[in-house]
Amino acid sequence: MVALADGKLLIGGASTEIGGLPGRVLARLHQDGSMDYSFDTGSASARDRRGLDQ
């Protein structure tokens, strides 16, 4: 999990569903914890999220 400058959170991990969307590896949450559906991860894979917590 990474806190972004605008107060949103970027989360990543192995998942079958986040916010009702299947197979998401990365997701962004608003400051209130709700899903930011405007965030598009494209074809992000598990390899792409390595280093997220660094």
> Which residue from 34, 33, 26, 32 is spatially nearest to 52, judged by alpha carbons?
26
Quote the domain boundaries for residue 22.
Answer: 2-42
Residue 51 lies in a domain: no
Q: What is the mean pLDDT of residues 19-42?
A: 80
pTM of the shown model: 0.61
Number of domains in the chain: 1
What mean pLDDT is reported for the chain? Answer: 74
21 or 32, higher pLDDT: 32
Residue 19 contacts residue 11 (beta carbons within 8 Å): no
Residue 19 lies in a domain: yes
Residue 7 lies in a domain: yes
Residue 6 lies in a domain: yes
Residue 53 lies in a domain: no
Q: What is the DSSP string of 25-36?
A: SEEEE-TTS-B-
Residue 49 lies in a domain: no
Residue 47 lies in a domain: no
Residue 17 contacts residue 24 (beta carbons within 8 Å): yes
Residue 54 lies in a domain: no
